[in-house]
Amino acid sequence: MPRYKLLIEYHGGPYQGWMKLPGVPTVQAALEEAAAKLDGAPVDVIGAGRTDSGVHATGQVAHMDLLQDRPDKVADAMNFHLRPHLIAVLKAEIVSEDFHARFSAAARHYRYVIINRRADLTLERGLAWRVPSKLDAAAMHAAAQRLLGKHDFTTFRDTACQAASPVKTLDRLDVARFGDRIEITCSAQSFLHRQVRSMVGSLVEVGRGFQRPDWISEILAAADRTACGPVAPSDGLYLERVDYPPAP
């Protein structure tokens, strides 16, 4: 039975996150329903990242095993059965049977989008976090660099997180301004539950001038969830890319 690797884009607004849950719409459930229509039997679709309710993706990766050996047709067929969901399969390819979308991943890359203006959002409503007070992106970037490396990220870990350890290695956390738009890009092999949104919310406290950049080091060292700043909303977060080691 061929194993397919899927590259997926979705608008997270209508969904209660990636992971299938009873009685609510989720991305995984929609994909599995579409795949079952292709195969005529239940299909498990395993994602690289379990994005939260409202979080978007431009480069989510998943795998599934299908009876059909038609890689040239699978993406189009999935998209046909996914309509009218705000989910699209951008690419489908056959991979080795030992490929696992989650456990084979070498790095995950997220982007968080802030629109820093007083006017309400129109075209980007639901796709970014509007912060009306002026933000100092340079101070936010300076603070962000204090989080790089291997640390106990308990402060930025949701209380419902099921990870075995709060220790993670953060490879990249950059803050850049483009006019009214501020983008925060972060990379790591894996993240804790709501880690990115927790870090962004605390960085915004620095950007507003409510806290010094050194405050980020202090709350990280505290390893105390109650020390974290407000958690940023889900609207602005995107799973942008997942990297895998080259095939042997």
What lies within 8 Å, CB to CB, of 123 at 6+ separation is: none
Catalytic residue among 39, 44, 52, 152: 52
Task: Compute CA 16 distance to the chain's CA centroid, rounded to the nearest angstrom.
Answer: 13
Residue 52 is a catalytic residue: yes
Q: Where are the beta strands (DSSP E) in the chain?
A: 3-10, 46-47, 56-65, 87-95, 107-115, 129-130, 149-152, 167-178, 181-188, 237-243
Distance CA 246, CA 248 (A): 6
Distance CA 248, CA 245 (A): 9
Placement of tokens 């639901």 in the chain:
126
Catalytic residue annotation? 52
